[in-house]
Structure 1
Amino acid sequence: MSITSIENFSNEFFYEIFEYLDGCKIYKAFSNLNHRFQQLLNSSSLLFKIYLTCSTSNEIDINIYKQLLLNNKHQIISLHMWSSLQNSEFFSSFSIDSSFNRLESIVINEISSTILISFLTNLTSLPRLFSLTIDTQSSLRDLNEVYRLIFALPKLKYIKISAEPTIISISLLIATNEQFSTIEYFVINHDCTLNVLCTLISYTPQLCHLNLMNLFENYSNNEIILPIIFSNLTYLSIQVADIRFDELEMFIIETKCNLKLLRLITFSEDRDYFDDDRWEELILNYLIELEEFYLEYHQQIDPESGSLTNFEPPNRFNSLFWIERKSIFEIEMDSFEYIYSIRLYKERWYDVNSSSIELLNSTRLTLTDLPRNEYIMILNLIIRDLLAVTQIYHLEISKKTICSEILIDIIYKLFALDTLKITSLILALSRYSSIEDKKLHFVSNKNNIKKVYLEKMSKIEEIYFLIKLCPRMIHLKVEFINDMDIELFIKNILKKLNHDCNQYLRSLCIHNSTANDKIIQKLEEMINRDKLLHHFTIKYIADNIYLQWK
């Protein structure tokens, strides 16, 4: 395309393209072209997003950065700086002042403490700096001056500050009326005691969104000083809540926050976190606006003991209060780590075409990984302890693969299962032995699994095994491999069902990205031609082929 033909495009066309590009690359590419591009680069309508990245090392690029920062200050909307440019020579070549009147967002990564303090000092003159993200990594331990300068920024709405999770020093005093900040979104991505948290947010009376990496108990005897009322605070997320429940409860009550979302992950041994009566009272009296509640507890199990004696999973959170809020209890097992969670119910794979959702029977166990072979017997003890306090109705095995023998053993223990989801299945070589056949026959007669989902299928024998293992299955979903013959696959499944006189299975869902009207027509003709079904419907929706029959 020639320069003459380029000139026929409107400036708005280029603005839309430039919006997604690095400002420095734009400047380097177009600064030496014709007069029109020179005008375009200097137009106040063109705003630059500048990335000072670690790839910038040669003198030519450095000069372009300097030229852009010095001559186009009024066009820079965001500035993203990385550690490779943390030298005083480069930063001394320009200063942040009020002439950067369009600058709204700054991201600083791994910058040295000396340069960071100097840089923050100059930001108070910016009239539109709304967002600031700082990642100090290991370069800074004392954050007092950093926070003092941050709280002095006149227009700041969002602040995220990250630091190494150890030896962080913060000893600010509680804010006075003259020190209040405009911050509304506060992400504290470093360790923080409850006292330090209260001090920090005392500077942010307009706070509405608070996200904490690690909140832990005060190890001193200092009295907890609670801040002012936070009626605007609607979002609170704590990635690791390592404080007593009493302290968290006091914080919520005393700050008079109006949370709409509360998210907590805890490793604490304080069992009050799973006292549903206390949570119910707290929510009814102090969190009346709460829309979403998420609580997660992590526990490590000693493989030598093989039991859950150190922690008793909750057997409640099933009253009418929690059902009305659509909050459910779930368990995840990752080898010897167990995660118990209370969360808002969200639609699952088996809810498709369901007329109603039974929240009382919604407890799900997810097996992310299983114990090593030498500890596999401990799995039986752990499941026993789980069933002593709660029933499991849904099982998901997201482990890469699971052997059919182990699957049979697990289903044998979980007699109340209604649904089963498996990532991948390996059929055991001994599956034709008389012992295995007897075990499979016993489990098949006992379980009442109605819906099965196999994510990765390698051969059709895996489907035959699941149909035999779950004879009362009414719905089967399969992730189909595109290079397989889908017509032959469905034909073999239906022939198998007819041969076994299966009276339960009435719905088949096959995920196939190549599904189209032509494939659906061929499948319909095949089913009618071979008289495999009499009354059926077949269609495809969002890469899924749905076959249903009476």
Structure 2
Amino acid sequence: MTSFERLSNEIFYEIFEYLDICQAYEIFAYLNHRFRYLFVESSLLYRIKLDLLSNQSFQQYCQHLISPNKHRIISLRLVNPFTIDRYFTFFPLDHASLFNLRSLTLNDIQSDKLASLLTLLATFPRFVSLSCTVETSVRNLETIHQLLFALPVLKYCNMTIKQRFPVEFVLPNPAKDCQPSSIEHFISQTRYTPMQLSNLLLRMSRITHLSCRVLLPYWVTGSIPSMHLPHLKHLSIHCHISFIQCEILLYAIVADQLEVLHIRAISVSDYLKANRWEQLITIRFPCLRLFDLQYCGSFYTDDEYQPLIDGFKSRFWMERNWSFAHRCYRYKQSTWLLFSSINGSTENNVDLEEIVVFDSGARIDVQSTHMTLSTQNQMKSTCVFSIDQLAKIIPCERLTHLTVLNDFPIEDIIGLVNISQHIRSLVLQGYSSKLLSLENRNNIQQMILRGNLTFHDVQSLMEAFRYLKCLKLTVAENDLELILRFLIRHIKKQTEHCVLHLVGFLDAHSLLVRRLRKVIDFEGYANSFTIESISDTAYLRW
């Protein structure tokens, strides 16, 4: 017996806390009978994360680990729509067998399935935490939110609906005897109007932490009613509205115990009115101990922004030890100002979570580790980025995801990826063989390409990007059968360190799906490979 094996069961339980149960099972279960006992006979509770798995591995986990131990599962994380669909096909959501389930994380779930799951989750007595991203634009947002509020013991909710524009929805005013939601932490990347946010908060009087995005589309009218939130201590708002509109919203929030306020604003200079912030904080948030303002915007001259910055040096800010830092860069015809709080820091650092730069009609949007390039129309962008200057504004070293929503010059895209050493995910609206020359292509693990790739394109792509784990693409339909046969051969000869886990054919109409399945049957791959259609994507499953 080794020294490692002499450790007590309690220590191994602590080790398992840092691993999802599937990882722990794979590492320990087959070492000896004692370790197998820890998984099969002990009272160990399971935290399960199902990532991109082969069909064989998925079935093994289901048969040997999940199926006989569903009553032990306290946390379940499903990372993509393919895994979500497979899991709930094997194990329909049932509170009788999953009575210990407390936390559920769903990445890219379809909106109709989310509504069905929320209905079922209302019967789970211990369910306290939900995190989900919704793949398609949700049209039944009223229903989704009402189902969230109906979850009886939910404490934590982190929900993001992937949308470029806000979805119009109206929640009816709650009845006077309506039971408030149990939610205490509410985090959302969904874009709400001020009125929509107000309607949500009227139902969440127990909330202590709120983080959300707010914007004001054309249809919004009317005043905002007061929201009494006596327990709210932490408020974070990403503002896509003017300062006046933000000011109206904040004055409507009655939260005398608020301690932390984070405000992020893009390209609207009136957010730098220090005296208005002083009045708002004094009147509405007397217990505030941390004020974090992050701003990114452009000016034509230094004379425009310097007086605004000086306003944050008054006695009010000094007494509270709230300090601010800024950086300025000339980018083409404008001066870009990055302004942020440095509370408790002695360094003059500016580290914004969100930066937006407008470049000749293009929008460059950085949110933490994700960068998105877009234009105001669907035409091909003629914008040529100034890569060297842009790198001074945008923290390229921390970027891991790049999404390009329009047809930008491929040279600009390659330039951005090359100066961003840690890009792992690349989403493009077109394809060019020039991508094969990327300097750091071995870092790319996920690609989504809409460019009608030919058989030769796919061959070259798989040869160049050897560490690709997830590939979704649109293909030239004349080459469809050739591409599928090539990908199957590529998958069958993969090495341990170069494993493609997921292949999806985008914009997959019913005829295309039938053609894919016909190849599987004709080539005799039916025992090893199948085609499954989810939304508008056909997935190759093995």
TM-score (norm 2): 0.57
Unpaired runs of at least 5, structure 1: 350-362, 367-397, 401-550
Q: Aligned to 2:94, what secondary structure does the other structure show?
A: coil
Corresponding position of 1:19: 17
CA deviation after TM superposition for structure 1 residue 266, in Å: 1.5
Aligned equivalents of 1:48, 1:365: Cα separation in 2 = 41
Give the letter aligned to residue 49 of structure 1: R
Q: Residues 313 and 364 of structure 1: is their aligned pair in 2 closer, same or farther, counting only changes over 3 Å?
A: farther
Q: Aligned to 1:210, what secondary structure does the other structure show?
A: strand
Q: Aligned to 2:323, what secondary structure does the other structure show?
A: strand
Aligned equivalents of 1:189, 1:264: Cα separation in 2 = 14
Match of 1:72 among 69, 74, 81: 69
Match of 2:326 among 318, 322, 331: 331
Counterpart mapping for 1:399-410 below 5 A: none
Corresponding position of 1:200: 200
TM-superposition CA deviations, 1:69-92 (whole Å, max 9, x none): 332122212111022534645413
TM-superposition CA deviations, 1:100-153 (whole Å, max 9, x none): 233222110012223322222221122222211111134645433322222111
Corresponding position of 1:81: 78
How many equivalent residue pairs? Answer: 347
Once the two structures are overlaid, the 10-residue window that deviates more, 248-257 or 82-91, is 82-91
Give the letter aligned to residue 258 of structure 2: L
Match of 2:310 among 311, 315, 322: 315
CA deviation after TM superposition for structure 1 residue 94, in Å: 1.4
Q: Aligned to 2:23, what secondary structure does the other structure show?
A: helix
Aligned equivalents of 2:82, 2:44: Cα separation in 1 = 25
CA deviation after TM superposition for structure 1 residue 246, in Å: 3.3
TM-superposition CA deviations, 1:475-522 (whole Å, max 9, x none): xxxxxxxxxxxxxxxxxxxxxxxxxxxxxxxxxxxxxxxxxxxxxxxx
CA deviation after TM superposition for structure 1 residue 29, in Å: 5.3
CA contact (8 A) 2:80 2:107 kept: yes
Ranked by relative contact order (alpha carbons within 8 Å, sequence separation 6 or more), the top structure is 2
Counterpart mapping for 1:135-174 below 5 A: 135-138=133-136, 140-169=138-167, 170-174=169-173
CA contact (8 A) 1:226 1:251 kept: no
Aligned equivalents of 1:182, 1:269: Cα separation in 2 = 35
Aligned equivalents of 2:321, 2:4: Cα separation in 1 = 57
Q: Residues 63 and 329 of structure 1: is their aligned pair in 2 closer, same or farther, counting only changes over 3 Å?
A: closer
Aligned equivalents of 1:35, 1:364: Cα separation in 2 = 54
CA contact (8 A) 1:157 1:185 kept: yes
Q: Residues 319 and 88 of structure 1: is their aligned pair in 2 closer, same or farther, counting only changes over 3 Å?
A: closer
Give the letter aligned to residue 234 of structure 2: Y
Counterpart mapping for 1:414-429 below 5 A: none
CA deviation after TM superposition for structure 1 residue 224, in Å: 3.2
Aligned equivalents of 2:116, 2:8: Cα separation in 1 = 42
CA deviation after TM superposition for structure 1 residue 326, in Å: 1.5
CA contact (8 A) 1:194 1:218 kept: no
Corresponding position of 2:185: 185
Is 1:238 the counterpart of 2:237? The answer is yes
CA contact (8 A) 1:77 1:103 kept: yes
CA deviation after TM superposition for structure 1 residue 195, in Å: 0.9
Corresponding position of 2:468: none
Q: Residues 43 and 338 of structure 1: is their aligned pair in 2 closer, same or farther, counting only changes over 3 Å?
A: farther
Aligned equivalents of 1:76, 1:51: Cα separation in 2 = 11
Q: Residues 345 and 146 of structure 1: is their aligned pair in 2 closer, same or farther, counting only changes over 3 Å?
A: closer
Match of 1:296 among 289, 294, 297: 294
Q: Aligned to 2:337, what secondary structure does the other structure show?
A: strand
Q: Residues 175 and 308 of structure 1: is their aligned pair in 2 closer, same or farther, counting only changes over 3 Å?
A: farther
Give the letter aligned to residue 73 of structure 1: K
Aligned equivalents of 2:343, 2:61: Cα separation in 1 = 53
Corresponding position of 2:447: none
CA deviation after TM superposition for structure 1 residue 59, in Å: 2.7
Is 1:175 the counterpart of 2:174? The answer is yes
CA deviation after TM superposition for structure 1 residue 197, in Å: 0.7
TM-superposition CA deviations, 1:226-257 (whole Å, max 9, x none): 25411111111123x12233333333333211
Give the letter aligned to residue 69 of structure 2: N
CA contact (8 A) 1:333 1:365 kept: no
Corresponding position of 2:216: 217
Corresponding position of 1:355: none
Structure exhibiting the larger radius of gyration computed from Cα positions: 1
Aligned equivalents of 1:230, 1:165: Cα separation in 2 = 28
CA deviation after TM superposition for structure 1 residue 97, in Å: 2.8
Give the letter aligned to residue 93 of structure 1: F
TM-superposition CA deviations, 1:385-405 (whole Å, max 9, x none): xxxxxxxxxxxxx969xxxxx
Q: Aligned to 1:101, what secondary structure does the other structure show?
A: coil
Q: Residues 153 and 25 of structure 1: is their aligned pair in 2 closer, same or farther, counting only changes over 3 Å?
A: same
CA contact (8 A) 2:325 2:342 kept: no
CA deviation after TM superposition for structure 1 residue 316, in Å: 1.9
Aligned equivalents of 1:335, 1:65: Cα separation in 2 = 57
Q: Residues 216 and 124 of structure 1: is their aligned pair in 2 closer, same or farther, counting only changes over 3 Å?
A: same
CA contact (8 A) 1:141 1:168 kept: no
Aligned equivalents of 2:63, 2:330: Cα separation in 1 = 54
TM-superposition CA deviations, 1:24-62 (whole Å, max 9, x none): 2334556667654454223463121111112x1223422
Is 1:226 the counterpart of 2:225? The answer is yes
Aligned equivalents of 2:20, 2:129: Cα separation in 1 = 18
Match of 2:55 among 52, 55, 58: 58
Aligned equivalents of 1:53, 1:77: Cα separation in 2 = 17
CA contact (8 A) 2:48 2:76 kept: yes
Q: Aligned to 1:125, what secondary structure does the other structure show?
A: coil
Unpaired runs of at least 5, structure 2: 352-390, 394-542
Aligned equivalents of 1:178, 1:40: Cα separation in 2 = 46
CA deviation after TM superposition for structure 1 residue 216, in Å: 1.3
RMSD of aligned residue pairs (Cα, Å)? 3.2
Corresponding position of 2:110: 112
CA deviation after TM superposition for structure 1 residue 297, in Å: 2.7
TM-score (norm 1): 0.56
Aligned equivalents of 1:34, 1:133: Cα separation in 2 = 36
Q: Aligned to 2:246, what secondary structure does the other structure show?
A: helix
Q: Aligned to 2:186, what secondary structure does the other structure show?
A: strand
CA deviation after TM superposition for structure 1 residue 281, in Å: 2.1
CA contact (8 A) 1:293 1:342 kept: no
Aligned equivalents of 2:306, 2:135: Cα separation in 1 = 35
Give the letter aligned to residue 222 of structure 2: E
Counterpart mapping for 1:239-388 below 5 A: 239=238, 241-257=239-255, 258-267=257-266, 269=268, 271=270, 273-301=271-299, 309=304, 313-336=308-331, 338-339=336-337, 341=339, 343-348=341-346
Q: Residues 31 and 256 of structure 1: is their aligned pair in 2 closer, same or farther, counting only changes over 3 Å?
A: same
Q: Residues 300 and 52 of structure 1: is their aligned pair in 2 closer, same or farther, counting only changes over 3 Å?
A: same
Corresponding position of 2:122: 124
